[in-house]
Amino acid sequence: MDLKSLSQRLGLSMTTVSRALNGYEEVSEATRTRVMEAARENGYRPNPVARRLALGRAEAIGVVIPNPPGDFADPFFIELLAGMGSVFEAASLDLIVTAAPEGPAELPVYRRLVEGRRVDGLIVGRTRRHDERIEYLLDRDFPFVVHGRTTTSRPYAYLDMDNAQAFVTATERLIGLGHRRIALINAPAHLAFAAGRHDGYERALGAAAIAVDPSLVVVCDLSEQDGHRIALSLLDLPRPPTGILCANDTTALGAMRAVKSRGLVVGRDVSIIGYDDLPFAGHTDPPLTTMHQPIRPAGARIAEMLRARMSGTPPEELQEVWRPKLLLRGTDGPCTTAGGTAR
Amino acid sequence: MDLKSLSQRLGLSMTTVSRALNGYEEVSEATRTRVMEAARENGYRPNPVARRLALGRAEAIGVVIPNPPGDFADPFFIELLAGMGSVFEAASLDLIVTAAPEGPAELPVYRRLVEGRRVDGLIVGRTRRHDERIEYLLDRDFPFVVHGRTTTSRPYAYLDMDNAQAFVTATERLIGLGHRRIALINAPAHLAFAAGRHDGYERALGAAAIAVDPSLVVVCDLSEQDGHRIALSLLDLPRPPTGILCANDTTALGAMRAVKSRGLVVGRDVSIIGYDDLPFAGHTDPPLTTMHQPIRPAGARIAEMLRARMSGTPPEELQEVWRPKLLLRGTDGPCTTAGGTAR
DNA sequence: CTGTTAGCGCGTTCAT
DNA sequence: ATGAACGCGCTAACAG
C-alpha cells in the first residue's frame, strides 16, 4: 500500500493525502479524518527511504561504539544506547550503531557516516582531551552532541559530568573520615575526564591543607588488571595510602582485590571509592562506595539535545553539566592507622 | 558530487558511470579505470538513500535491545553488537539499533522495522521458548537470525549455545569433585535456554545415579538480588546443597554473597559455577568458575549468517550450535562435607 | 482547500 | 560499449 494507491482509493491526489497525513494546515478537517482513517484501515506506512530522498535527510542518528580490540566493550555504552533509543524511537529516527576501534580506523568511520549522508546527527562518546572527531565535525558544521567535553575554541553541544566536583566530593569524603594519604588512580591523560578529576582531587586536598604527594597519583588504563597492579604498587610504597580514589568501578574492583591480597580489609585498613556505579558495584564484597551517574537519563537527554541541535538550536544553548552523587556503601571508612598510613 | 556532475565532468552518461562503478562487465576497461579514478579524485560517494530507493532495499539490519524497564540493560549485548558491527560495516550495511522493553510494546517495534521497510534483516536475541517475534517474522517470510533457539515447527536460522551440554559439563565437574547435593538456580522457564540447562543438569545427575531433588531446582529472575535471595533459601534447607549451578554470572555473584554471609567459604564449603564469563567474572573473590562463551565472535558469525540468509541461503543451512567451555577458576572445589551436605 | 508537475539521485530496461 | 528515458515513493513549488 503506497501513497498512490491510497490516494486513488480515496479519489484524491497524492499531494492532498500526503498533506493530510503530515498535518498540514491547509487540509479540510473532513478530508483529513477521511484520509487518516483510510490510512489506518489499509495499514498504510510511508516508505521511509522515499521520504528521505525527497526530503534530503537521512532521518537517522549515528553512534560509534568505542571498541577496544581485545577487550570487552564498555557495558556503560549499552545503557547510554538504551536511554537514547526511546527518544529516537519516538521521533522515528533510526539509531545507526557502528563499532570502531580507537585509532586511525576511527575517523574514516565518522567520515563515511557524515560524507555518505547516512546520518543527520552524531553522538560522540569516550571523548578525548584533544579530539579529532570533534574538530572534524566542527569543520563540517555537522550537528552532534558530545558526552563529555574536549578542548576546542569553538562552541559545541555537550552533556558532561562534573568530574572535578565529583572528585572534590570523593576526596572530601575520605578527608572527613580522617584520611591524609589519599591516592588517585586516574585515567590516561588523553581522555577528557582525567584532567577534571585530577583537579578536583588536588583542590580538595588543598582546601584541607594536605600536600599533594606525586607518588600517590598514578595512571591506569581503566582495566581491572591494571587497577590491581597499580594498587599493589601503591601498597608497596614506604608510606602507603589509606584511601584510594579510582577512575572507575572496574579499576576499584582491581584495587579491592589488591588490598585483600595483602591481608588488609577494604573499608577498614584501606578505603576505596569508585566512579560510575556500574551494575555490579552494589554487589562487590564489601559493596563499593562510588560516584553514581544516571546513565540512561543522560542518554535520553543527549538524544533530546541532538534533536534540538539538528533543528537549529545554537550549541551554546546546549551545554549541560550534571553532578554525580556520592553513593555511600561499604568500602569507605574512618582512617584507623596512626599517622595516617596503612600498615 | 553526485553521479550527474561526475559523468558530465567525464563526458559520459550517468548510465556508463554507474555501470563502471558497480562493476558491470559490459564497460570497457579503459573507461572503467578512468571512471574509478575520477570518482576517487572527486571524492564521489553514491547517495545511499537514492540507491536504496532505486534498489528497493533498506541496506540496513535491525537489532532490538531487550530493555528491562527499571534495570540495567544487558552488558552482554554491547559485546554482541560490537561483534556484528565489523561485519556489517564491511558490507556497508547500516546496523539500526532500537530498544524495547519486553512485553506488549515489543512486537510493534518489530513491525515498524519490518513493515516500514526500514531494514532488510533482523537479529533476534533474548529468545523465548515460545517467541511471538519469531512467529511473526516467519509468517512474513522476513530474513532473520536468532541468537538462541525457540520452539516452532518451521525452520529458521539460529546460532545457539549448547546449553544442555554446558550444564552437563558443569554438573559433571561438581560431581567429579564429590558433590552430591547440587542445586540449579535456573532462568525463568519462558526463556529459551532454561529448558536445555535443566535437561543437562538432570542428564548428568542421572548418569551419576544421583536422584534429582526438586527442592534444589529453583528459578531466578537473573538478577544478583534474586540470586542472593534464592541462594539463602537454598542454604536454609534442612539438607542444603554443597554445589550451586547458576543460570548466569550475575546470579552467581548473588549466590556468592549469600554463601559468604552465612560464614561459609565459597569454593570450599560451597562450590559455585556461573555462566557467561562476563568481564567481572575473573575478578570476583574468589574468581568465578564459569562457562565461557565467545560473545563477540558469535556476534560476527550471526551477522554473516544473516547476510547469507538475505541472499537466499535456506535457513536449514544456517543453524549452528556452539559449545561453551568450562573455565576453571576459584569457586569450585572438592566436596568437604561428610554426607555431601554443607554445614 | 485541492490538484498538476517537477524533482530527490540512483539503477536499469531498451535501444543503438 | 554507450546513452536516453523511465521508475523507485514521496514532498514541495506552483497553480487554480
The whole-number pLDDT of residue A280 equals 81
The residue among A49, A246, A249 with the most chain B CBs within 10 A of its CB, best to mutate, is A49
Average pLDDT value for residue range B153-167: 98
Q: What are phi and psi of A4, to 5 degrees?
A: -60, -50
A123 grid coordinates: 553522538
Q: Is the pTM of this model over 0.95?
A: no
Q: Does A259 touch chain B (CB under 8 A)?
A: no
> Per-residue pLDDT tens for A212-228?
999 999 999 988 889 99
Among the partner-chain residues B50, B79, B116, the one whose CB lies closest to the CB of A48 is: B116
d(C-alpha B246, C-alpha B288), whole Å? 11
Superfamily of domain A60-162+295-323 in the CATH hierarchy: Response regulator (3.40.50.2300)
Rounded to a whole number of angstroms, the distance from the CA of A185 to the nearest CA of chain B is: 18
| Nearest residue to A218 via CA among A237, A238, A204 | A237
The residue among A2, A93, A94, A246 with the most chain B CBs within 10 A of its CB, best to mutate, is A94
- Cβ density class A32-58: b for 16+ within 10 Å, e for less: beebeebbeeeebebbbbeebbeeeeb
The whole-number pLDDT of residue B342 equals 46
**Confidence at B340, pLDDT banded by 50, 70, 90:** very low
CB B68 within 8 A of CB A275: no
The whole-number pLDDT of residue A109 equals 94
CB B272 within 8 A of CB B244: yes
What is the secondary structure of B249-270 as a DSSP string? HHHHHHHHHHHHHTT--BTTTB
Residue of chain B with shortest Cα separation from A277: B72
Q: Does B221 touch chain A (CB under 8 A)?
A: no
Q: Does residue A341 or residue A245 have the better pLDDT?
A: A245
The whole-number pLDDT of residue A70 equals 63
The Cα-based distances of A110 to A66, A148, B15, B118 in angstroms read 12, 18, 30, 22
Q: What are phi and psi of B155, to 5 degrees?
A: -70, 145
Q: Does A293 touch chain B (CB under 8 A)?
A: no
**Confidence at A151, pLDDT banded by 50, 70, 90:** very high
Q: Is the pLDDT of residue B328 over 50?
A: yes
Rounded to a whole number of angstroms, the distance from the CA of A99 to the nearest CA of chain B is: 5
Among the partner-chain residues A49, A99, A279, the one whose CB lies closest to the CB of B86 is: A99
What is the secondary structure of A4-35 as a DSSP string? HHHHHHHTS-HHHHHHHHTT-TTS-HHHHHHH
> Per-residue pLDDT tens for B131-154?
999 999 999 999 999 999 999 999
The whole-number pLDDT of residue A343 equals 46
Bases of chain D below 7 A from a protein C-beta are: 1-5, 7-13
Instruction: Report chain B residues whose CB lies below 8 A from the CB of A267.
Output: none
**Fold matches, B60-162+295-323 and B163-293:** yes
Rounded to a whole number of angstroms, the distance from the CA of B258 to the nearest CA of chain A is: 11
Report percent pLDDT > 90 for chain A.
Answer: 84
Q: What fold characterizes domain A163-293? A: Rossmann fold (3.40.50)
Tracing cell 561438581 back to the chain, one arrives at B174
CB B284 within 8 A of CB B123: no
The whole-number pLDDT of residue A285 equals 82
Could you tell me the residue ranges of all domains in chain B? Answer: 3-47, 60-162+295-323, 163-293
Instruction: Report chain B residues whose CB lies below 8 A from the CB of A115.
Output: 43, 45
Mean pLDDT value across chain B = 93
Helix (H, G, I), strand (E, B) or coil at B203: helix
The whole-number pLDDT of residue B26 equals 87
Instruction: Report chain B residues whose CB lies below 8 A from the CB of A279.
Output: 72, 75, 224, 250
Q: Is the pLDDT of residue A269 over 70?
A: yes
CB A249 within 8 A of CB A74: no
CB contact under 8 A, A73 and B78: yes
Average pLDDT value for residue range B151-162: 97
Q: Long-range contacts made by residues B65-69, C-beta under 8 angstroms, separation at least 24?
A: B65/A78, B65/A81, B65/A82, B65/A85, B65/B97, B65/B98, B65/B99, B65/B100, B66/B100, B66/B101, B66/B102, B66/B125, B66/B126, B67/A82, B67/A85, B67/B99, B67/B100, B67/B101, B67/B102, B68/B101, B68/B102, B69/B101
The whole-number pLDDT of residue B86 equals 87
**Confidence at B208, pLDDT banded by 50, 70, 90:** very high
CB contact under 8 A, B254 and A283: yes
Q: Is the pLDDT of residue B193 over 80?
A: yes
Strand order in the sheet with A325-327: A217-219, A182-186, A243-246, A271-276, A289-292, A325-327
- Cβ density class B233-255: b for 16+ within 10 Å, e for less: ebbebeebbbbbbbbbbbbbbbb
Peptide bond preceding B214: is omega within 30 degrees of 0, i.e. cis?
no
Instruction: Report chain A residues whose CB lies below 8 A from the CB of B43.
Output: 115
Q: Does B82 touch chain A (CB under 8 A)?
A: yes
| Nearest residue to A182 via CA among A199, A170, A165 | A170
Size of interface A-B (CB pairs under 8 A): 144
CB contact under 8 A, B95 and A96: yes
Strand order in the sheet with B60-66: A319-322, A157-161, A144-147, A121-124, A60-66, A94-100, B94-100, B60-66, B121-124, B144-147, B157-161, B319-322
The whole-number pLDDT of residue A342 equals 46
Instruction: Report chain B residues whose CB lies below 8 A from the CB of A65.
Output: 78, 81-82, 85
Chain B 5-64 contacts with nucleic strand C (CB below 7 A): 14-15, 18-19, 21-22, 46-47, 50-51, 53-55
CB A281 within 8 A of CB A295: no
Report percent pLDDT > 90 for chain B.
Answer: 82
Of 1.10.533.10, 1.10.3720.10, 3.30.565.10, 1.10.260.40, the CATH number of B3-47 is: 1.10.260.40
**Which of 107-166 (A) contact B at CB < 8 A?**
109, 115-118
A263 burial level (CB within 10 Å; 0-12, 13-18, 19+): exposed
Ranges A102-106, A123-127, B285-289, most confident: A123-127
* Candidate from A259-263, B108-112, B220-224 with smallest mean pLDDT: B220-224
Rounded to a whole number of angstroms, the distance from the CA of B8 to the nearest CA of chain A is: 21
Q: Is the pLDDT of residue A339 over 60?
A: no
Q: How far is CA B44 from the centre of its chain?
A: 38
The whole-number pLDDT of residue B316 equals 98
Q: Does residue A221 or residue A121 have the better pLDDT?
A: A121
Residue of chain B with shortest Cα separation from A61: B96
**Confidence at A87, pLDDT banded by 50, 70, 90:** very high
Rounded to a whole number of angstroms, the distance from the CA of B202 to the nearest CA of chain A is: 30
